[in-house]
Amino acid sequence: MLKKRHYLLAVIGILMGIVLTPIHTHAAEDNSKEPIMMAYYRTWRDVTMPHDANSSLPDRNVTAMTDIPEGVDIVSVFHYVKSGTDQQKFWDTLKNTYVPTLHARGTKVIRTIDVREIWQVPHTGNAPTTAEYEQYAQQLIDTYLTPRGLDGLDIDMESTLTTQQEEMAVGTFKALAKKLGPTSNTGKLLIYDTNKDNHSLFKKVAPYCDYLFLQAYGRSTAMLDQTWATYRTTISPQQFLPGISFPEEQDRNRWDDTIEPYETSHAYAFANWQPQNGSKGGMFVYAIDRDGKQFGDDTITKTDFSWTKRLIETLKQK
Positions marked active-site? 158
Task: Specify the amino acid at residue 186.
Answer: T
Q: Distance between CA 313 and CA 281 in Å, rounded? A: 15
- Determine if the peptide bond prior to 261 is cis (ω within 30°): yes
Euclidean distance between CA atoms 165 and 204, whole angstroms: 13
How would DSSP label each residue in the chain?
-HHHHHHHHHHHHHHHHHHHSPP--HHHHHTTSPPEEEEEEEGGGBTTS-TTSS----PPP-B-GGGSPTT--EEEEE----TT---HHHHHHIIIIIHHHHHHHT-EEEEEEETHHHH----SSSS--HHHHHHHHHHHHHHHTGGGT--EEEEEE-S---HHHHHHHHHHHHHHTTTSSTTTTSS-EEEEEESSSS-HHHHHHGGG-SEEEEE-TT--HHHHHHHHHHHTTTS-GGGEEEEEEPPPTT-------SPSSGGGSHHHHHHH---TTS---EEEEE-GGGTT--TT---------HHHHHHHHHHHT-
Q: What is the biggest distance separating any 2 CA atoms in the chain, rounded to whole angstroms? A: 94
